[in-house]
Chain A
Amino acid sequence: MSATTMATAVTLTLTTDQEQSKSFTLEPGESVLSALLRHGVAVPNSCRAGACQSCMMRATAGTPTPDSQKGLKDAQRVKGLFLACACVPTSDLTVRFADGDTASRAKGVIRRVDRLSHDVARVLIETKEPVSYFPGQFLNLVRSDGLVRSYSLASLHSPAGVAPGDDALELHVRRVRGGQMSEWLHGDDVVGETVELHGPMGDCFYVAGRPEQPILLIGTGTGLAPLYAIVRDALRHGHTGPIRLYHGARGPAGLYLIDELRALAARHTDFAYTPCVLEGPADDAAVRVGPIDQVVLADTPKLTGHRVFLCGDPTIVTALRKRVFLAGANMKDIYADAFVMRASS
């Protein structure tokens, strides 16, 4: 390092939703965590050695040091997450707390609702300004009366740097009996309504790189929505490794997008789609019957080196996560998104 760069003071800026941003000048060799603590900012922390990840923060301008992103998942790295204790910045950096993911807000208008199955609807929402997200992330949908629900994005419109795909935001909404938001979105007069969108959030998305890596995606119910986006995102990035998607439902009526996914598999030899039902019999011979984890592991018992995406029912996602890890997938390569359903309130 030259004398001139040594002399340049590095400025650290902290932004929050509540207050005006604050800027601090870092001492030579000082970490982001030390600087914030020195200035009385309460940052959760524990090991201070880059291991426990309790001091994870997000850089919104500037680049965190490579050291501070070691051990993080690829999806966390591309979102600018880093460990404050391990980051001694060499140039100016603007940071926020990692849970401040919901900074972006947009207004949208519901343009179309299509029925995909007896209880799942595809809801298309148009926004005036394009919303930047990674396909597969989720956002909070806020109705005019303040009711909020989280939905994953099945569409492909994407952040700067990648050719845009679909124009509208696509959500898959399962009708929950007594569910205030889902009953409303399934109603006749919802088209034209204005909603607010907060987000995007979540780590369940495709990160370009390692194009030869095998990808396994397992979803139940509308857990298919993010996986449908991730599969198409991987394909358009030219992913060359095998991509296998398993969609599980209780019975055949719970499966949807079957024709679209079969057509996609016909166009891409490296992509395979396997619908599964828990309770048979399935009329269609290509639909597998049995618990989805057993179906997947019967096909591929060893998952060493795989990148895995799991979405849907929380109990199944938790169990699958353990199964795929024990079958050899690395912790850092497992992306899980558990959907919590609320019937009312």
Chain B
Amino acid sequence: MSTVYQQIGGGAAVDAAVDIFYRKVLTDDRISRFFDDIDMDVQAAKQKAFLTMVLGGPANYTGQDMRRGHQHLIARGMNDDHVDAVIELLGQTLAELGVSPAAIGQIAGVAESVRDDVLDRPAGSPRGTQPGSSNTAAAAAAEKRGPCGPSCGCAHNQ
């Protein structure tokens, strides 16, 4: 089964989607303040990576990237409501590009799956759960250990 990424035309279509999505984000009063004072080119590249991932295109993001990348925004008050707004604008963007409502629902589900990472709290947290730094520390330690376990002795444990 082809992904929505392939259906809408791959990387070029995602470029178009980024411009539409980013314009919505910058003009949305609920979340635009989080996007002030940043380099727009850098931000657009990040949004392209995000859209590529949720559309099922090639991506190598980990939960840790999501956690690290949003901690400064949590410090500025980012919460579930802001994540809701992003998912809503994502849906509007895809609708403008002619993606079917069923596919948009599926994509929103993918975006939903990183909510706890973005808000830096344990997976499956109920709405409104505050970020948990102990969880971040545990996850960071797990990532540092790597896939081979603490007794392996390989470079992952250095």
Contact = CB atoms under 8 A, between A and B. Distances in A.
A264 B20 CA distance: 37
Contacts of B40: 321-322, 325, 331, 334
A325 B18 CA distance: 12
Given A70-B11, A331-B18, A331-B40, A52 B46 contact: yes
B29 interface: no
A71 B57 CA distance: 15
Contact of B48 (A51, A325, A330): A51
Interface in A1-58: 46-54
A71 B15 contact: yes
Given A71-B15, A322-B40, A51 B45 contact: yes
B143 interface: no
Interface centre among A47, A49, A332 (most CB of B within 10 A): A47
Interface centre among A47, A49, A51, A330 (most CB of B within 10 A): A51
B155 to A, nearest CB: 11
A47 B58 CA distance: 8
A46 B65 contact: yes
Given A322-B26, A322-B40, A47 B15 contact: no
A50 B58 contact: yes
A213 B41 CA distance: 21
B49 A49 contact: yes
A47 B41 contact: no
Contact of A52 (B15, B19, B45): B45
Interface centre among B22, B27, B49 (most CB of A within 10 A): B49
Given A70-B11, A332-B15, A51 B52 contact: yes
B26 A331 contact: no
